[in-house]
Homo-oligomer: A and B are copies of this chain.
Amino acid sequence: MQDSYRRLLEQIREGRLSVEQALQKLRALPYEDLGYAKVDHRRLLQKGFPEVIYAPGKTVAQIKEIARRLYDRAVPVLVTRAEPPVYEALREEFSGAEYHPEARAVVIRTAEKAAPKGCVGVVTAGTADLPVAEEAALTAELMGCRVFRLYDVGVAGLHRLFDRLDLLFQARALVVVAGMEGALPSVVGGLVACPVIAVPTSVGYGAHFNGLAPLLAMLSSCAPGVAVVNIDNGFGAGYMAALINLSGEGGGAD
């Protein structure tokens, strides 16, 4: 199905199809209306990845039904911020469902399995930033990327980071996760040549204001080649890094 969409996009690029014609074709592509949600199969076609299910604020029954619709079309499912009961419920129906407790995520994979491509690195300043980092790493892995992790290398002890420069230099895109003062993305951005996706976390207290301190710091970074996602948004960072990494591979998302 992805092929047909790709062909369509190519025809637009080649001028063999007008935008008007393309839009009409796109409208023909189904999405399913569950009443409380509209499962968007078009996104899959467009981005090379299914719509992630953000669990908070949805009932277990709703999550289950959305997952089923996605799974029926043979796309991998990722449920983020999922507590164990969500996993229990999903496992009843999807025997292959996996729970990743550090990432607080459920994954339901499809049969097909390609070799991971390129290289995405996920780096954290502290131990407490781990859940956000794992969500990012898992997302990138599910999108087909080779991923390495380098945790607890914050700026108060930079020799731990410098010991692994070789690893950092291998990445085509880096996710750098930090709470507290959020300084690590600037330091990493000053060392590497690839794009850095900075993720502030809510780890801290007082004048940290639940992530405001590292968010503002990262946006004010003096290092070029750094862009920022929302506080604790591991999924968004992993997704962005995967897009960049795969674009370098000349495949997948493009």
Contacts and interface: CB of A to CB of B under 8 A. Distances in A.
B231 A229 contact: no
A187 interface: yes
A121 interface: no
Nearest to A227: B227
Given A213-B216, A244-B195, A189 B221 contact: no
Contacts of A190: 43, 155-158
Contacts of A186: 155-156, 181, 183
Interface string A8-51: 01001101000110111011000100011110101100111000
- The quantity of this chain's copies bound in the complex is 8
A214 B181 CA distance: 8
A152 interface: yes
Contacts of A230: 205-208, 219-220
A236 B208 CA distance: 15
A194 B247 contact: yes
Interface of A: 9, 12-13, 15, 19-20, 22-24, 26-27, 31, 35-38, 40, 42-43, 46-48, 52, 56-58, 62, 125-128, 130, 151-160, 162-166, 169-170, 172-173, 179-183, 186-187, 189-195, 197, 200, 202-233, 235-237, 239-240, 243-244, 247-248, 250, 253-254
16 contacts: A19-B163, A20-B24, A31-B160, A36-B127, A36-B152, A40-B160, A43-B156, A126-B222, A181-B218, A195-B240, A206-B210, A206-B220, A212-B216, A213-B217, A215-B219, A224-B235
